Structure 1
Amino acid sequence: MTVWDDRLDADERALLTPGRPLDLDRSPDVLVVGGGAIGLAAAVFARRAGLGRVVLIERAPRLAPGASSGNGGAIAPDMHVATDSPEFVAFGRRSRQLYRDLDAEWEHAIGTWPTRWLDIRPAGTFPERSAATGSDQGGPRPLSESDVRELEPDVRLPDGAEARLAEGQLAVDPLRLALALAARAGQVVTGVGLLGVSVHGDRVGTVHTTAGDFTPGALIVATGLVPPPWHRRVPQRWVKGHMLAVAPGPWRLGSVLAGPFGGGTPLPGGGVVCGGTFDEGDRSREVRPEVADPMAKGLATLIPAAADARISHRWCCFRPQIEDRQPVVDRLPEVTNGWFAGGHFTTGIMMAPATGAALAEWAASGRAPDGVSTFTLPPAPLHYPL
């Protein structure tokens, strides 16, 4: 169980498991497949765009399964300035602004909180673009050791380490985000999975599911990885990762600590979420303490007072990665009324609002919106047998 699960009450848990209603709309204007952060955001923005009746289906018993609830809740696009494309950073910053706008409009129902990121690395190992594309473009700026001590009195830089600071970022409890989105996403259904589609000409005509068929006007697929029949020749995989949380202790931490030494995200109340790992080749769904627990030692490398920190939670999840790609926001091949969003890997929470808004704009106008030209699917074969 994640640290976020323990922050829900019984009524909130029930809202995340709506099940299947008796009056299930079989012919919605928009059918969204996938009840993670991306799918929920797509449904919300489809409604905001006036696209008509929206139905969202999720195959798991609960909304926000997998990586959508098993992450650290980071909304930190400026941490990507030195490592990712300008298009990626701009899209992330748009998402961050949408979070602020929605949270204000919804009277803080999402519950984001401000964060600053302290990136600590061995000297000379910051990405080469850091100096050229750092603070002048909103990315992390260098700090001296005395600056770090003043900012975070309980943090100690390892010998020879350097630090950079990115301010103005956000964080969110992923399950509270799912609750806020689900309340505004139309008809939301759990326990219903996608089986396949029937295409008529250049349109998705029928969507086959474990609860029977749907005939939507438009289809948005947000299943993490590209599903059949469009998955052929798409280099994609699930990557397992562990997370953990430590209970509050005799230290104070106001910044997210990042970098190869370790670190974590401070939680309201004093705990810290650490992670995650990249467990190549591990396909099991079991939590492995021998993989997770070293992250607590990494935290103690930077915060000596956390050497005896009590681990309160350990969990794992699988992240969707479409190799050699940034997140994908694109039409489904060979159809005019279908779209796919996925492959967000570790950035699904961060990118959810901008992704949902882009999909809704595309469905409403029929034209690709600005900002998604680099988020395309790999080239498709000439024909997919459907």
Structure 2
Amino acid sequence: MGTDRVTVWDDLLTAHERAALAPGRPEDLDRTPDVLVVGGGVIGLMAAAFCLRRGFERVVLIERAPRLVPGASSGNGGAVAPDMHLLTDTPQFVAFGRKSRQLYLDLDAEWDGAIGLRRTRWLDIRAEVPRQLPAPLRALTADEVRDLEPDVRLPDGASAVLAEGQLAVHPGRLAAALAGKAGQVATGVGLLGVSMRGDRVAVAHTTAGDFAPGALVVATGLVPRPWHTGVPQRWVKGHMLAVAPGPWRLGSVLAGPYGGGSPLPGGGVVCGGTFDDDAGPDVRPEVADPMAKALATLLPGAAEVPISHRWCCFRPRIEGRQPVVDRLPGLDNAWFAGGHFTTGMMMAPATGAAVAEWIATGSAPPEVEGFSLPVSETCP
């Protein structure tokens, strides 16, 4: 029987990591920090960690939920694969993702492997492969795929695009490691509103009292009140699932229109995710289970193993499906970082580094100039 709501990552956490994700509220919260970060997802945690690395000694992060990464930051597939976006996104988007990939490698080396980073390769299986592929993507025939992955079977006429040198991360393990590098971290504390003095946030009002930060970073997925007016944004529900270990050897992430999944170190496979119309929090097996059937079209052995986990989460989508790294409208000392939709895990380090640099220098880093906050007269 499958485990609904509990992610496969939850079951792989140690007791120490679980404790790190639910620190509660410290008694000695710094009320005048250099930087106050609102939001304990992976974007907020990276922003706080990079602010410390940039030289801000007093950083406080608050998360309204009882634990860190309560949403898509802990329910995603853990992919860090910027080269897979070469055929779908802008050069700036890919460059930002590649910067994140390098930062992940740097952090994992510095922290002695604490974030659980893994090197991966991707096979994008499709009916037709573009004649010209940008490096380092490479086209493979069905025979070449069989040599690389003997247990994978391509549909008739299909071929694949290979992307080597990508990464994957355990989302919960990453968050637990970041929690120890993000300054003062408090869970169960939510933002109620702000008081302004001119073009600056003077006071942030929270459920744990007031803060007077030097800078405010809002990393709440979508833009919250009172800055949300005119921003075309919404939450998009998605289902994920994992299948139990089975009779196969799989070293590649399988992707593309036929379906696919990402191999876990223990032999299972994570599949996801869907784009659902309903806004309810319930897991719907009739939506999730077809992903397991699609995996079995490429990995036939998966047809004989049970689904071990089903869960769903909500992703923040802002118009354009691009990450947003920008000042909050009309404010000199407040920033928003969010709207990463399906790429929050991939883009988190570069986002955090950009926010920290912007706060420190007062100027937007060149790599985020295209990631400004969109505003329109109507919202979808």
Mapped to 1, the partners of 2:138 and 2:260 lie a distance apart of: 18
Match status 1:338 vs 2:334 = yes
Match status 1:35 vs 2:32 = no
Find the residue that maps to 2:125 and give its secondary structure: strand
Alignment of 1:61-210 (within 5 A): 61-123=66-128, 130-132=130-132, 134-136=133-135, 138=136, 140-210=137-207
Alignment of 1:250-261 (within 5 A): 250-261=247-258
Listed as ranges, the gaps of 5+ residues in structure 1 are: 382-386
Alignment of 1:229-378 (within 5 A): 229-280=226-277, 282-378=278-374
Mapped to 2, the partners of 1:131 and 1:228 lie a distance apart of: 47
CA contact (8 A) 1:296 1:309 kept: no
1:14-38 CA-to-partner distances (Å, cap 9, x unmatched) read 2110111111111111000000000
CA contact (8 A) 1:121 1:162 kept: yes
Mapped to 1, the partners of 2:105 and 2:16 lie a distance apart of: 26
Find the residue that maps to 1:69 and give its secondary structure: helix
Instruction: With the length of structure 1 as denominator, give the TM-score of the two structures.
Output: 0.95
1:10 CA drift (Å): 2.5
CA contact (8 A) 1:247 1:271 kept: yes
Match status 1:214 vs 2:211 = yes
CA contact (8 A) 1:63 1:190 kept: yes
1:214 CA drift (Å): 0.8
More displaced 10-residue stretch of structure 1: 148-157 or 319-328: 319-328
CA contact (8 A) 1:239 1:319 kept: yes
Find the residue that maps to 1:295 and give its secondary structure: helix
CA contact (8 A) 1:333 1:380 kept: no
Instruction: Name the counterpart of 1:54.
Output: 59
1:236 CA drift (Å): 0.2
Mapped to 1, the partners of 2:25 and 2:72 lie a distance apart of: 23
Mapped to 2, the partners of 1:304 and 1:16 lie a distance apart of: 37
Instruction: Name the counterpart of 1:20.
Output: 25
Instruction: Name the counterpart of 1:384.
Output: none
1:127-165 CA-to-partner distances (Å, cap 9, x unmatched) read xxx544x343x3x21101110000000111101212110
Mapped to 2, the partners of 1:293 and 1:180 lie a distance apart of: 32
1:325 CA drift (Å): 4.4
- One-letter amino acid matched to 2:248: W
1:88 CA drift (Å): 0.3
Mapped to 1, the partners of 2:84 and 2:183 lie a distance apart of: 34
Mapped to 1, the partners of 2:115 and 2:256 lie a distance apart of: 28
Mapped to 1, the partners of 2:31 and 2:196 lie a distance apart of: 17
Find the residue that maps to 1:223 and give its secondary structure: coil
- One-letter amino acid matched to 1:6: D
1:174 CA drift (Å): 0.2
Find the residue that maps to 2:105 and give its secondary structure: helix
CA RMSD of aligned residues (A): 1.1
Mapped to 2, the partners of 1:278 and 1:173 lie a distance apart of: 22
Alignment coverage as a number of residue pairs: 372
1:291 CA drift (Å): 0.6
Mapped to 1, the partners of 2:280 and 2:19 lie a distance apart of: 28
Mapped to 2, the partners of 1:252 and 1:81 lie a distance apart of: 28
1:9 CA drift (Å): 2.5
Find the residue that maps to 2:152 and give its secondary structure: coil
1:207 CA drift (Å): 0.6
CA contact (8 A) 1:36 1:63 kept: yes
More displaced 10-residue stretch of structure 1: 354-363 or 318-327: 318-327
1:208-235 CA-to-partner distances (Å, cap 9, x unmatched) read 1111111100000000000111100000
1:301 CA drift (Å): 0.3
Mapped to 2, the partners of 1:265 and 1:332 lie a distance apart of: 36
Alpha carbons of structure 1 residues 25 and 299: separation in structure 2 relative to 1, 3 Å: same
